[in-house]
């Protein structure tokens, strides 16, 4: 039938494009690698993403067990939109020059290292949509949690699907390790007023003026939750262990509190407010958005979250009730799956 004939024609055209793109990209890479200490092979493959099979091009470096994955779907879309294969090859080369710097060359990926070195990292989903296409992630509102492999304090990389295949582990297994290590991290919850007071004392301000300064500049009772390193502490957004530490700390000052509101403005910490201090969530969101406006590049989420210390449920506070209930997460259970 005409419909079947048209579909077959589309499949054929797509395959011709894939073959031509792979060939031309390989030629350009061979020329590029003449002056480099490594070579590159391109392998056409298929992977499943969210249950859907996708055509991909795996980039294999001779000096590394890992390499990026290129999605033909994106390239073919641009090709149909009028871009030449040469244009797409040049664009891809620019992307790969950046990606090559992120590929670790000599890290031994033993089971022991994998069990100890994988943690969570929060990203803003909308800002990183393209980046996330190559990697598994967990989605919480507009936050994407990715798995981060820590080679050492100065070197790390975010885990892509090719890494999962290389170590023969599913994304779910990788994220179980990431959650366990994130939960085991040492978390500290402090009053922001105490943090400010210490900073002001270090800068020579007397205690006589510190109290007035804090009263004038802090409109709500704020607490800060992070790990002891003060790095990637916002990963605690789905850690029941970390959030319970904060909840118990705040209950010492607010014995009747049931929950705490959370604002994530950077990757390094979560700002918390006891529910007894919040009359209107929209006012809290305005404060959150004003902070985001000062550092838009560090924006993790536009939402204000709430964690109930008794039910252990995490909700998005600044959305309609129906949506809030639909997206509620019970942190006492494993309810988030890596995509």
pLDDT tens per residue across span 68-109: 677 777 788 788 888 888 888 888 777 676 556 555 545 678
Res. 13 pLDDT band, cuts 50 70 90: confident
Number of H helices, E strands in the chain: 12, 14
For residue 85, the SS3 value is: helix
Tokens of 125: 């989903």
Quick one: what percent of the chain has pLDDT higher than 70? Answer: 86
* Angstrom distances, CA of residue 311 to CA of 88, 315, 331: 51, 11, 9
Cα angle 144, 292, 178 (rounded to 5 degrees) comes to 25
Q: Is the pLDDT of residue 121 over 80?
A: yes
**91 contacts: CB under 8 Å, gap ≥ 6:** none
What pLDDT score was predicted for residue 2? 47
Tokens of 82: 């009028």
Which residue did the predictor score with more confidence, 163 or 303? Answer: 303
Average pLDDT over residues 166-189: 92
266 in Cβ contact with 91 (< 8 Å): no
Edge-first strand listing for the sheet containing 329-330: 187-191, 223-227, 270-274, 259-263, 304-308, 313-316, 329-330
With 0.85 as the threshold, say if the pTM is over it.
Answer: no
Res. 308 pLDDT band, cuts 50 70 90: very high
- Name the pairing type of β-strands 270-274 and 259-263: antiparallel
- CA-CA-CA-CA torsion sign (135, 140, 143, 146): negative
Cα angle 86, 91, 95 (rounded to 5 degrees) comes to 145
Give CA torsion, residues 297, 143, 77, 25, to 10 deg.
70
């Amino acid at each position: 039938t005409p419909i079947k004939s048209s579909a077959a024609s589309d499949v054929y055209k797509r395959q011709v494009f894939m073959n031509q793109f792979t060939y031309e990209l390989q030629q350009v890479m061979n020329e590029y690698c003449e002056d480099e200490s490594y070579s590159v092979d391109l392998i056409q493959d298929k992977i499943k993403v969210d249950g859907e099979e996708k055509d991909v091009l795996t980039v294999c470096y001779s000096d590394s067990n890992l390499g990026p994955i290129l999605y033909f779907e994106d390239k073919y879309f641009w090709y149909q939109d009028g871009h030449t294969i040469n244009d797409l090859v040049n664009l891809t080369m620019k992307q790969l020059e950046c990606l090559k710097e992120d590929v670790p060359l000599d890290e031994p990926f033993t089971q022991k290292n994998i069990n100890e070195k994988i943690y969570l990292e929060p990203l803003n989903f909308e800002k990183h949509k393209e980046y996330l296409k190559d990697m598994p992630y967990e989605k919480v509102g507009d936050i994407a949690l990715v798995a981060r492999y820590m080679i050492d304090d100065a070197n790390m990389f975010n885990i892509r699907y090719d890494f999962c295949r290389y170590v023969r582990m599913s994304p779910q297994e990788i994220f179980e390790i990431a959650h366990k290590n994130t939960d085991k991290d040492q978390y500290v919850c402090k009053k922001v007023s105490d943090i400010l007071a210490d900073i002001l004392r270090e800068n020579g301000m007397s205690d006589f003026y510190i109290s007035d300064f804090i009263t004038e500049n802090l409109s709500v009772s704020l607490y800060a939750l992070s790990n002891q390193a003060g790095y990637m502490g916002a990963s605690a957004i789905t850690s029941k262990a970390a959030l319970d530490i904060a909840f118990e700390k705040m209950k010492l000052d607010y014995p009747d509190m049931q929950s705490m509101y959370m604002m994530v403005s950077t990757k390094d910490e979560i700002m918390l407010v006891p529910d007894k201090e919040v009359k209107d969530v929209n006012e809290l969101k305005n404060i959150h958005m004003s902070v985001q406006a000062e550092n838009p590049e560090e924006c993790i989420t536009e939402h204000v979250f709430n964690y109930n210390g008794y039910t252990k449920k995490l909700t998005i506070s600044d959305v309609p009730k129906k949506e809030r209930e639909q997206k509620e997460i019970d942190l006492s259970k494993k309810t988030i799956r890596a995509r």
